[in-house]
Amino acid sequence: MVAGFLSVGISQAQDKVIDQIIAVVGGNTILKSDIEGMYIQKQAQGLTSDGDMKCEVLEELLIEKLLVAEALLDTTIEVSDSQINQNLDQRIQYFVNNLGSEKEVENYFKKSIIEIKADLEEVIRNQQLTSQMQNKIIKDVKVTPAEVRYHYRNLKAEEIPLIDAYVEYEQITFRPKIDPEEENRVKNRLRELKKRIEDGSSFASMAVIYSECPSAPVGGELGYSGRASLDPTYAASAFNLKGDRVSNVVKSEFGYHIIQLIDRKGEQVNTRHILMKPKISEEAMEQARQRLDSLANFVREQKLTFEQAAGSYSWDKNSRNNGGLVINPMTMSSKWKVTELDPDVSKVLANMNINEISKPFQTIDETSKQTVYKIVKLVKKTDTHKANVSDDYIELSQIYLEKKKQEALDKWIREKQAATYIHIDDTYANCQFKYSGWEK
C-alpha cells in the first residue's frame, strides 16, 4: 500500500518527468512524477496488472496521503530523525550491495549519495508514518476460536482455502571438530592482516581479497546493525571499538574475524570485517558422521528417544531446545512447505516415512554457513488439501485475522474519504478504483 523505496531513485535515474499536480488529498498533493516513479519501479520488478497500473499506483498514493495526514495529527505517532537516518543508511547499503560500490550508485542515479538521501528522506518518513498509522488502526483486531469455526462453517465449498503440502521434522546436528593447529593457522593469518592494515594497507581492500564472508565484495562492510542482530562475541568487540582501530581476533559461530568500526549511531554500529573459517579435515568429517550414525542407531534401538538425544547432543541450539523440532522462522510454527526447506533436508525427507530416522548426511548450516552432519526424523507430512479446522486451525485463524484487519482498514479509508477534500485531475477520470469514494 505504500510507495516502494526505489521509486524516487529509479524515477530520477530516468529522464525527468515534467511535473503536474494529479491529485489533492486534504492539504497534500500527488505529482505526476510520484506516479511515474512508482510505475517505473513496478515495471522494473516485473510486476504486471490486468487493469491500468498507473491508476492502481495513484490509488496507493491516495491511501498513503490519507494515512500520513491522520498520522501527523496523532501525537502518539512519531518518526525520529535517527529512525530515518538508519533507514537511509540501510537503503544506501542495499544499493551498494546491488550495484557494487557507492561510486556505481552515484553513477546510476546521476546524483551524489547526499542528494540520493535527500530525495529518499520524505519517502521514508511517509512510509514510517503510514506503517505506524496502519498498525494503530488494526492493533485491536483479534479473532477468537469461535469466530474461526463460525467463519469456516459458513464458507462455500469453493471458498475453502487450499493448504499447501507441509512437513514437520526433528533434527540432530553434529559439527565436525576442527584441529587446533588449523585454528591457530587462521588466527595467525588474521593477525598478519591486522598488522598490514595498521601499517597502512586498506582494510576494505584486504577484505575484498581475503574475507570469506558474502560482504567481501563491498570491503567487508555489514551496514548498521544492533547488538541483537550480531553474533554476541562479534557485537561485544564491535561496540567496544574506538575510531578506526582494528580489533584483535574474534571467534564467533561463523569463524574468526578482525573488525573495524566505520560509524556508530546510538545502539547501531556499522562495521567492516574480515572473516576466515578453519578448514575441516576429511578425518574429522568421517568421525562426525560415524558418531552421528552411532547415535541414530541408539535411538532406533530405543535406548533413548530422538528428543532426548537432540537435547543432549545436537549442536544446533535452536532445535536442541525443542527436542530437535525445527521451527520455521517465517511462520514461527513447526510446519514447513517443501519449497521452504533447505534443499539437502528436502531431498532426504522426500523418501522417508513418518517416525523414520535418516542416515547422516552432510549439509551447510544455514545460520553459521559451516559444514555439518545431520540426521532427521520425519514427524508429520501432509499433501495439498482443503483446509479443515482440526488440522489447519492456525492457518485458518491467520486467514480470517487478515480478512478482519483488511475490513477494518477498508472501513477507516471510506470514513476518511467522506470527511476529506479530494480532487483528482481529469486525466485519471476513467480509472476503476477499488474505493469509489475518491471521486466526489
What's the pLDDT at 136?
95
**With respect to CATH, is domain 7-142+402-438 assigned 1.10.10.10?**
no
Model pTM score: 0.61
Reduced to 3 states, what is the DSSP secondary structure of residue 39?
A: helix
Contacts 24+ apart (CB under 8 A), 309-316: 309/172, 310/170, 310/171, 310/172, 313/172, 313/174, 314/171, 314/172, 314/173, 314/174, 315/173, 315/174, 315/175, 315/372, 316/171, 316/173, 316/365, 316/367, 316/372
The domain locations on the chain are 7-142+402-438, 166-177+281-386, 180-276
Write out the H or E segment, with its range, that includes residue 311: helix 306-313
Where b means 16+ CB within 10 Å and e means fewer, 320-337 reads bebebbbbeeeeeebbbb
Helical residues (DSSP H) of 154-272, grouped into ranges? 180-198, 203-210, 232-238
Please determine, for residue 429, whether its predicted confidence score (pLDDT) is greater than 90.
no
DSSP letter (8 states) at residue 429 = T
Mean pLDDT computed over every residue of the chain: 88
112-119: long-range contacts at Cβ-Cβ below 8 A with a sequence spacing of 24 or more? 116/9, 116/92, 117/88, 117/92, 119/8, 119/9, 119/12
pLDDT surpassing 50 at residue 9: no
Report how far apart the first and last C-alpha atoms of the chain are (Å, whole number): 22
Q: Where are the alpha helices (DSSP H) in 2-80?
A: 7-13, 32-44, 53-73
pLDDT in tens, 401-420: 999 999 999 999 999 999 99
- Mean pLDDT value of segment 114-119: 84
| C-alpha cell recorded at residue 186 | 587462521
Q: Residue 18's pLDDT is what?
A: 57
The span from the CA of 91 to the CA of 102, in Å, is 12
* Highest CATH level, class, for 166-177+281-386: alpha beta
pLDDT of residue 155: 92
* Mean pLDDT along residues 50-68: 91
CB atoms within 10 A of CB 36: 21
Task: Copy the grid coordinates of residue 418.
Answer: 467522506
> Is 353:378 a contact under the CB 8 Å cutoff?
yes
Q: How far apart are CA 247 and CA 253, in angstroms?
A: 17
In the three-class reduction of DSSP (H, G, I as helix; E, B as strand; rest coil), residue 222 is classed as strand
Share of the chain above pLDDT 70, in %: 95
Say which CATH architecture domain 180-276 belongs to: Roll (3.10)
Q: Residue 103's pLDDT is what?
A: 84
Tell me the residue length of the chain.
Answer: 440
Residue 114: is it exposed, middle or buried by C-beta count within 10 angstroms (0-12/13-18/19+)?
A: exposed
Give the residue with greater pLDDT, 27 vs 62. 62
Residue 84 confidence (pLDDT): 86
| pLDDT above 80 (res 41) | no
Is residue 76 pLDDT above 70, yes or no?
A: yes
Torsion of CA 358, 360, 362, 367, to 10 degrees: 70
What was the pLDDT predicted at 318? Answer: 86
Tell me whether the CATH fold assigned to 166-177+281-386 matches the one assigned to 180-276: yes
Specify whether the CB–CB gap between 38 and 7 falls below 8 A: yes
| pLDDT beyond 50 at 7 | no
Residue 168: pLDDT band (50, 70, 90) is very high
